[in-house]
Amino acid sequence: MQVLFDSNAPKKPTNLSINSDLLSQAKNLHINISAVLEGALAERVRQENRRVWLAENRNAIDHYNKTIVEEGAFSDSLRAF
């Protein structure tokens, strides 16, 4: 699995604007808001990195797929299925 960020990096305080009712409910339920935000943010960063990588490599992926359709994969003769 690819590492998205340094989990040992120091925490940095930040200011956020959150719906006051939602925040109150989360606190009453003892939800660790920092942990939830960090998890959601890590997932969003992963999605955006994937989107950027695919956009940057679209031409190479398309070329590779076209080559496979036209010429087949190098291992086609080795497959038993």
What's the total number of domains in the chain?
A: 1
Domain assignment present for residue 11? The answer is no
What is the C-alpha separation between 31 and 41, in angstroms, rounded? 16
Domain assignment present for residue 28? The answer is yes
Q: Which domain holds residue 51?
A: 21-73
What is the C-alpha separation between 57 and 75, in angstroms, rounded? 23
CA atoms within a 13 Å half-sphere pointing along the CA-CB vector of 25: 5
Domain assignment present for residue 57? The answer is yes
- What percentage of the chain exceeds 90 in pLDDT? 78
Domain assignment present for residue 3? The answer is no
Q: Residue 1: is its pLDDT beyond 80?
A: no
Domain assignment present for residue 34? The answer is yes
What is the C-alpha separation between 27 and 32, in angstroms, rounded? 8
Q: Residue 80: is its pLDDT beyond 80?
A: no
Q: What is the mean pLDDT of residues 10-22?
A: 95
Domain assignment present for residue 2? The answer is no
Of the pLDDT bands very low, low, confident and very high (cuts 50, 70, 90), residue 20 is: very high
Evaluated on CA atoms 19, 23, 29, 34, the torsion sign reads positive
Specify whether the CB–CB gap between 42 and 5 falls below 8 A: yes
pTM of the model: 0.73
Of the pLDDT bands very low, low, confident and very high (cuts 50, 70, 90), residue 81 is: low
Domain assignment present for residue 48? The answer is yes
